[in-house]
Amino acid sequence: MTPREKAEKLHKKVNTFILSCVGSDGYPLTKAVVPGKYRESLSEMYFCTNTSSKFVAEMSRNQKSNVYFYSRKIVWWKGCLLKGDMEIVTEMSIKEKYWQSIFKNAYPQKSFTDPDFCVLRFTPTSGRFYADFKLADFEI
């Protein structure tokens, strides 16, 4: 199995993703998010957050971003760092697709049409997979 295939497999299993972007002060800005409703491929990933978040404000100025996800057992780690660009999704059909009923309490309009409901699309260009004390870089 290639490093990318291993990363794809891990991507479909994990429960937390760490997003990072470059802040306006030049330092990284990082936030943890739950996985999207659908996880089709590493080639295009979606995350839900608030339009009013500091992360969205900073990311809209500089789309260069990283996504990190991992699985940890006592002494066994697997992780993947992806490098690419993040953008705000404006297509209502995609926002509707990623809306979940559990989000209702977080948004006044209780719908994907709420202006504070934001879907981010991450398009990676490369990755680094770690497992068994070894690193492997790959292109996407």
Taking a C-beta distance cutoff of 8 angstroms, is the pair 59, 120 a contact?
yes
Question: H or E stretch including 136?
Answer: strand 134-139
Containing 49, the helix (H) or strand (E) segment is strand 45-50
Q: What pTM did the predictor assign? A: 0.92
> What's the pLDDT score for residue 23?
95
What's the rounded Cα separation, in Å, for the pair 75 and 37? 30
Report the C-alpha gap between 36 and 40 in whole angstroms. 10
Please report the pLDDT score of residue 72 as a whole number: 86
Where are the alpha helices (H) located in the chain, listed in sequence order? Answer: 3-11, 54-61, 92-98
* pLDDT tens digits for range 64-89: 999 999 998 767 889 999 999 999 99
Residue type, 51: T
For the chain, list residues with pLDDT below 70. Answer: 74
Q: For residues 17 and 70, what is the distance between their CA atoms, to the nearest angstrom?
A: 8
Return the closest-CA partner of residue 100 out of 12, 36, 19: 36
Enter the tokens of residue 111: 């719908």
Residue 74 has a pLDDT of: 67
